[in-house]
Amino acid sequence: MNLISLALKSLRQRRTGVLLTVVTIALSVFLLLGVERVRVDARRGFSSTVSGTDLVVGARSGPVNLLLYAIFHVGEATNNITWKTYEDIRAMPEVSWTVPLSLGDSHRGFRVVGTTTDFFVHYHYGAKQALSFTRGAPFADLYDAVIGAEVARQLHYTVGDSIVLAHGLGGPATALHADKPFRIKGILAPTGTPVDATIAVSLEAIEAIHVDWRGGMRLPGLEASAESTRHMDLTPTAITACLVGLKSRLSSFAVQRAINEYPDEALLAVLPGVALGELWHLIGTAENALRAVSVMVVLVGMSGMLTALLAMLNERRREMAILRAVGASARTVFALLVIESTLLTTFGAVLGCLLLFGVVAIGHDYLLANAGLVLELAPSATEWWLLAAVIVLGAFAGAIPGAIAYRRSLNDGLQVRL
């Protein structure tokens, strides 16, 4: 009979206590791996907020600042780009496509983006996934709007609902564009990106709701009705930023330099991947805190196991004496306890993995819809290392009861002192 099957049979005898220990370890492993999974996937989700876009262009400020207002809709642009400049960029020979973004309005806390239907074609996220519609279609009419999944979920909007945009980004005395209501034409599928919390309308619509506005005020006596506006020239004079796709990625740096040195206007072009990396760096300390907490939880789980093993040790002095009597060495007794704790940790680790797999499988869609988080089902390489570390730690923890049993079996002889 080998020691492993002996340990297994002994554990089965004490199954209630053993089960509790295994569950404790499983929960701590679940937490450790879960935090790691969320951390890695949140980071990946974040860094693939924009994919397939080679350059983000805006008025000259800092790369992180540009990314924050153009992509994450945090803060405001310092300046605009004129329409002529946008057309010049568009006309560059290396440029394959451009998507204009016009920001500055909002609806009940959600940002409004003026853009073109190219946005739904060229804006990619994650592993080069395009936007898709759960309901409806891209805007077609001047007063059509497309809303993100989060907007639809929070405000309970559906296709056909009428909404009124507000001038500015919200605040105590927000002026409404009440004279020109929009109709919801489509609802986007959840993406886990800021697009979920966005309302997209056409560039012309942004122009239309502002024809009778100057400097943040509606001009008295010059009101233009929603219908009459349709017949005006709605070519925008300026946009906030634009996304640029190139024919070849190799020209990224050349085009970036060309745009940064554009003579007529102070522009900034950033590679989204680089700027996203910089931005993540700013918020990266939070992940370390999470990690530290989950490591502590594992240590608590391990001490739980140790407590259980040590408590059982007294009842098992008889078992050890019998093994010694049939010729097992004190080292074998030590090995038996180390094997036991290794088995317990391994069972706990496997159970924790299964638990995480189950939770991720069940919660995947919910997390995407509610937290904008795309979690992978398969564990990452780091997780395997963490698992190995937990099991090694478990084996080392077993050395403590092992050493006690070792000492006892040398000192007690074959009599059991209870």
**Minimum distance, C-beta of residue 4 to other proteins, in the bound complex (Å):** 13
Binding mask 221-260 for other proteins (x = CB under 8 A): ----------------------------------------
Quick one: 285 or 411, whose CB is closer to other proteins? 411
Quick one: 14 or 183, whose CB is closer to other proteins? 14
Q: Which residues pair with 246 in a beta bridge?
A: 95
How many chain residues interact with other proteins (CB under 8 A)? 25
| Residue at token pair 């049939």 | 326
Residue 122 as a binder of other proteins (CB under 8 A): the answer is no
**CA-to-CA separations, 174 to 74, 105, 110, 171, in angstroms, rounded:** 18, 10, 13, 6
**Minimum distance, C-beta of residue 6 to other proteins, in the bound complex (Å):** 8
- Between CA 39 and CA 383 the distance in angstroms is 11
Binding mask 4-33 for other proteins (x = CB under 8 A): -----xx-xx--------------------
Residue 172 as a binder of other proteins (CB under 8 A): the answer is no
Contacts 24+ apart (CB under 8 A), 31-34: 31/294, 31/297, 31/298, 32/294, 32/295, 32/297, 32/298, 32/352, 32/386, 32/390, 33/352, 33/353, 33/356, 33/379, 33/383, 33/386, 33/387, 34/294, 34/356, 34/359
**Minimum distance, C-beta of residue 348 to other proteins, in the bound complex (Å):** 21
Residue 415 as a binder of other proteins (CB under 8 A): the answer is yes
Among 248, 329, 370, 382, binds other proteins (CB under 8 A): 329
Among 81, 330, 339, 375, binds other proteins (CB under 8 A): 330
- Between CA 42 and CA 46 the distance in angstroms is 6
- Amino acid sitting at position 32: L
Angle at 298 between CA 295 and CA 302, to 5 degrees: 140
Quick one: 8 or 295, whose CB is closer to other proteins? 8
Binding mask 351-390 for other proteins (x = CB under 8 A): ----------------------------------------
Residue 1 as a binder of other proteins (CB under 8 A): the answer is yes
**Minimum distance, C-beta of residue 294 to other proteins, in the bound complex (Å):** 35
Quick one: 282 or 325, whose CB is closer to other proteins? 325
Kind plus residue range of the DSSP H or E element containing 100: strand 95-107
**Minimum distance, C-beta of residue 406 to other proteins, in the bound complex (Å):** 11
Nearest to 412 by CA among 340, 280, 343, 320: 320
Nearest to 346 by CA among 11, 25, 4: 25
Quick one: 9 or 90, whose CB is closer to other proteins? 9
State which of positions 288-327 bind other proteins (CB under 8 A).
Answer: 318-319, 321-327
Residue 408 as a binder of other proteins (CB under 8 A): the answer is no
For β-strands 213-214 and 166-167, DSSP reports them as unpaired
3-state SS, 177-206, equals CCCCCEEEEEEECCCCCHHHHEEEEEHHHH
Could you give phi then psi for residue 213, rounded to 5 degrees?
A: -115, 145
Enter the tokens of residue 415. Answer: 């009599």
Quick one: 237 or 411, whose CB is closer to other proteins? 411
Residue 404 as a binder of other proteins (CB under 8 A): the answer is no
Residue 340 as a binder of other proteins (CB under 8 A): the answer is no
Q: Which residues bind other proteins (CB under 8 A)?
A: 1, 9-10, 12-13, 318-319, 321-332, 410-411, 413-416
